[in-house]
Chains A and B, each alone.
Chain A
Amino acid sequence: MTVIQHPSELRPAVKASSVSGRRRSARRPMRTIGNVVLAALLLLIVLVPLVWLVMGSFKTQSEFLNNPAFALPDSWTNFSNYSAAITEGHLGTYVRNSILTVFPALFLTILFGVAAGFALEVMVWKGRGTVLIAFLAGIMVPGQMILLPLFTIYFKLHLTGTLLPLIITYTAIGLPLTVFMMATFFRSVPREIFEAATLDGATIVRQFFSIGLPMVRNAIFTVALVQFFFLWNDLLIALTFTSSDDLRTIQVGLLNFQGQFGQIEYGPTLAAICLNVFGTLVIYLFLNKRVMKGLTAGSVKG
C-alpha cells in the first residue's frame, strides 16, 4: 500500500496551464489546420453521443420509429418525455432519495474524515502510521467483500425498510479516501505553524478550528466534490440495500426504468438519462477545474 504514498500521486495532479507558454511554437499554416482537425475530431467523439441524447429526449415515439437516427426533433419544446419520466417514471422520488442519502453521508464522511486526517497527520503519537495504512487498505477492498455481512447486520437490526443502511454504508465507504486525501492536505501545511501556535499557548481544539480547518478549507471542498460524484453515481450499494421501489436512488431507479416503460419507450428513457446527467453537468460547468483536480488526486480509488 505504500506505493500510493509516493509524492507524485500525493501532489494535486492538475497544474496551472501556463506550461504551454514555455514550449516554443513553430507556427506553420498546415500544422495549424491539422491541429484544428484533430481537436475537432476529439470534440466530436465526446460530444456527438451527448448531443444525440439531448435530441432524443425531445422526440416522440413515432419520430424514433420512422425518422432517421440523426434527424432533428420536430419540436424542441416538447417536454412530454420529461414529464412522463418524472411522473410515471417516479424520477422525482428517486432524486429525493438520492439527495436524502448522499448529503447526510457526505456531511458525516467529511466531518469524520477531516478530524481523523488532522489526528493522523498533525498530531504526534505512536502507531499513527499503522492506523493510516489500515484506512488506506479500505480503498483496495472491493465493495462485494462487505455487502453480505452488512446485509445481515441491517436485516437483524430491522433497518432494511429505510434509507439508513445507505447513509451508514456511504459514510463508511467514503472514509478511506477522505482520510487519505485530508492527511495529504494536512501534510502540506508547514509543521512550524502548529508548533508556533502551541508555543503561543493555543489548545489543540483551538488549533483544529482556527488553524487546521481554515488552511485546508479549499481542500475540504474539493474532497467533498469528489465524494459527491462517487456516492451520487454509486450503483452497487444502492442496488443491494434498496428493497422497495420507494427507496430507490436515482441510479437504481434509472436501471429499472426500462423495465417499467418497456424496452421500446425511447423518449422517456432518454429524458430520464438527461435528467440524471443534468445535475453533474451543472456542477461540472461551474467547478470543472476543481473537479478535475480532485478526481485525479483521488485516482487511487481507480
Chain B
Amino acid sequence: MKSVLGDRRAIFLLLAPALTVYSLIILIPVFWSLGYTVFEGNAINGFSFVGLDNIKQLFSDPDVHQALWFTVRFALVLTAVQVALGYLLALLYVFVLRKASNLIRTLVFFPVVLPTVAVSLLFQQLFEYAPRNGPVNSILNVFGIPSVDWFGTSTSSFWVLILMETWRSMGFYAVLLYAGLVDIPEEVLESSRLDGASGLRLVRHIVIPLSMPVLLSSIIFSINGTLKIFDSVIALTNGGPGTSTTPLTVLMFQTSFGYGEYGYGSAIALLLTMLCLIVTIFIFRSSRRDLTKA
C-alpha cells in the first residue's frame, strides 16, 4: 500500500512541473522583490545600493500616505457595502422570492464575469458629464437636478467606483451567502417561529448567528480582494482627479514603470503585501472561535 501511494518517483513527476513553475515565477520573485527594496534604479539602467532609504521614504512620502489611506478606506467601505447588500439579496432569495429566485440569482450574478475594463468604460459613459450628458445625468436632469461632474471631484469619483464595484459583485456575494443561508435547518427556523420570533427578530437572533461562518469568510475574501483593486481604478478614473483615487497597487505601478524606480516600487509592493497579510491574520485570529464552530 505505502509503496504505491507513497511512490517517491511518481510524487516527484506529478509535483515537479507545478512546483518548478510556481517557485520560479512566484516564490523566487517575491524574495527577489524584497531584495529590490534596498536598491535604486531599474532593469534597463542598472541598480545602486541605497540601504533602507526606500523603506524610510515610505513613512514620509505624502503620496504613499494618500494611497494607503485610499486603499484602506476603499476596502473597508466596499466590503461593508457589497457584503451587506449581498446578504440582503441572499435573504431576499431565501425568504421572499423562494422558488422564483433561480432566474434572478443567475441574472444578478452575471456582471461578475464581465471584464472589468469593459464595465469601467461602460460606467465612464454612463456617468459622463462633458462634452455631453450620460444617462445618469440625464435622469438627474429629468428630476430637475443639475448635471454632476462625477469624475471631477475625489469624493464623487470614490463613490462611482464603489457603486460600480457593488454593481459588479453584489450577485457574487449574494450567491456565496445564499449557500450559507440554505444550510440553516428548517426545524430551527420553524421552532423559532413557534416561539414567536418573526421578521427582523428572526433574522437578528437566529439567521445572522447561524450564518456567521460564511459571513465572516465573505468579509475576509472581500477585504483581501478589494485591497488589491487595480483594473477598475486604472480603467475608470486612472487614479484621478489628481492622485486622489490612487490605491497602492496603482501607485506601485506608476512608480515602477512610469518613473523606472524599481526599488521604491518594490517597497510599495511590500507595504501592500504586508497589509493583505495583516488583515488576513487579524480577521482569522479574531474570528477563529466562530470559524471552527460549524
Chain A residues within CB distance 8 Å of chain B = 1-4, 6, 8-9, 11, 13-15, 17, 19-23, 25, 35, 38-39, 42-43, 45-47, 49, 52-53, 56, 64-65, 68-70, 108, 111-113, 115-116, 118-120, 122-125, 131, 134-135, 138, 140-153, 155-156, 168-169, 171-173, 175-176, 179, 194-195, 198-199, 202-205, 207-208, 229, 232-233, 235-236, 239-240, 250-251, 254-255, 257-258, 264, 266, 269-270, 273, 276-277, 280-281, 283-284, 288-289, 291-292, 295-296, 299-302
Contact = CB atoms under 8 A, between A and B. Distances in A.
B30 A273 contact: no
Contacts of B19: 116, 131
9 contacts: A42-B89, A64-B132, A138-B26, A143-B230, A144-B253, A148-B256, A173-B26, A235-B231, A235-B235
A148 B36 contact: yes
Nearest to A252: B117
Q: Is the interface of A mostly helix, strand, loop or mixed?
A: helix
Contacts of B125: 53, 56, 266, 269-270
B117 A254 contact: yes
Interface string B151-186: 000000000000000010001100110111011001
A269 B101 CA distance: 34
Given A141-B26, A145-B272, A264-B131, A49 B2 contact: no
B99 A292 contact: no
B195 interface: no
B133 A69 contact: yes
A194 B105 CA distance: 38
Find the residue from A52, A56, A112, A264 having the highest chain B CB count within 10 A.
A112
Contacts of A43: 104, 107-108
A23 B207 CA distance: 14
B276 interface: yes
Given A3-B280, A135-B22, 11 more contacts: A69-B137, A115-B15, A119-B10, A124-B6, A148-B29, A152-B43, A155-B44, A270-B125, A284-B113, A299-B172, A302-B225
How many chain B residues sit at the interface, stated as a range, is: 35 or more
Contacts of B249: 142, 144, 236
B252 A144 contact: yes
A116 B15 contact: yes
A264 B29 CA distance: 41
B104 to A, nearest CB: 6
B266 A148 contact: yes
Contact of A229 (B113, B126, B214): B113
A140 B280 contact: yes
A146 B138 contact: no
B235 to A, nearest CB: 6
A302 B110 contact: no
B221 to A, nearest CB: 5
Find the residue from B44, B183, B269, B276 having the highest chain A CB count within 10 A.
B269
A302 B6 contact: no
Given A124-B5, A292-B109, A17 B225 contact: no
A161 B224 CA distance: 33
A69 B102 contact: no
Nearest to A228: B113
Contacts of B7: 123, 204
B33 A146 contact: yes
A138 to B, nearest CB: 5
Which 7 A-B residue pairings sit nearest by Cβ, starting from the closest?
A: A302-B225, A172-B25, A116-B18, A20-B98, A149-B29, A149-B32, A119-B14
Given A23-B186, A125-B11, A288 B121 contact: no
A245 to B, nearest CB: 16
Contacts of A111: 17
B78 to A, nearest CB: 11
Interface string B103-119: 01111111111111110
Contact of B5 (A122, A134, A135): A122
B10 A123 contact: yes
A64 B110 CA distance: 27
B221 A255 contact: no
B49 interface: no
Contacts of A150: 25, 29
Contacts of A266: 125
B48 interface: no
A134 B115 CA distance: 29
Contacts of B257: 240
B14 A116 contact: yes
Given A142-B273, A296-B175, A125 B6 contact: yes
